[in-house]
Amino acid sequence: MEWTDAITVLGGASDAWPRLEARYGEPHRRYHTLTHAAAVARDSAWLAEGLSATERAVVAVAAWTHDVVYDAKPGEDERASAAWAREALEGVAEAHVERVEGLILATVKHDAPADDLLATALLDADLAILGAPEKQYETYARGVREEYAKYPDDVWREGRIAVLERLLDRPLYRSEAARTRWANAATANLTAELTRWRRAAADHR
C-alpha cells in the first residue's frame, strides 16, 4: 500500500512524505534506502492480504517508516524511527499510532507474539531480502557493509559472523507464505556468506 493511501485510510495528513523521502535519500545509506522501504511495503501488503483495510494501512505505515532514521545504531535507530512516525501521524487515532510504534520497535529483535498478524507481515517482509536471488543478496550484503564502514574489517567480520549464526540458528520467517517463498534461498544465502566470512577469519589468524 502506498504511503498516501495508508495515511488516508488512517485519517491523517500525507504531508510527511517529502520529509520521509529526504530521510531515505541520505548519502550514507546504501541498502536502507527508499527502495528497501518500498520493498517492505510491497511484501508486507502481500502478507497482510487477509487483514482489514485499517490493519493493512497500519502495516504499510510501519513498513514505510521502520528505517526512516538510520545511522547504523541498532536499537537507537528503531526507537528514533518510531518517534519520527508518531510525529508524522498527526491526526491519526492514538491507538493506530501506538500500533505503528509497536511494529517498528518489534524490528529491533524481530520478535512479537506468534498471533500478531500485523507484526508477522512486517517482520517477514523486512527479511525478504535474505531469500532474494544470489546476486541481489550479495548487493544487499555489500550495502550493509558500506553502511557500517566506520568499523574496521576485523570488527565487522566477527560481528557479521555472529549475526549470520544467530539468523541460521532460528526460524527466519513466521508465516507459512514467507517460509514457502523465501526460506530455502535465505538459508542458502546466509550459509554461503557465513562460509566466506569464516574463511576470511581463518586467513587472518
Per-residue pLDDT reduced to its tens digit, 117-134: 999 999 999 999 999 999
What string of DSSP letters covers 83-106?
A: HHHHHH-TTS-HHHHHHHHHHHHH
148-183: b (≥16 Cβ within 10 Å) or e: eeeeeeeebbeebbebbeebeeeebbbbeebbebbb
Is residue 205's pLDDT more than 80? Answer: no
Instruction: Return d(Cα 84, Cα 196) in angstroms, integer.
Output: 37
Q: Residues in the chain, how many?
A: 205
Average pLDDT score, the chain: 96
Whether 25 contacts 17, CB under 8 Å: no
Instruction: Return d(Cα 6, Cα 42) in angstroms, integer.
Output: 12
Average pLDDT over residues 49-74: 98
Predicted TM-score (pTM) of this structure? 0.96
Is residue 53's pLDDT more than 80? Answer: yes
**Residue 163 CA: distances (Å) to CA of 32, 45, 167, 197:** 17, 27, 6, 11
Q: Quick one: how far is CA 52 from the chain centroid? A: 22
Is residue 160's pLDDT more than 90? Answer: yes
How many helices (H) and strands (E) the chain has is answered by: 11, 0
Q: What are phi and psi of 2, to 5 degrees?
A: -70, 155
Whether 127 contacts 186, CB under 8 Å: yes
Per-residue pLDDT reduced to its tens digit, 73-106: 999 999 999 999 999 999 999 999 999 999 999 9
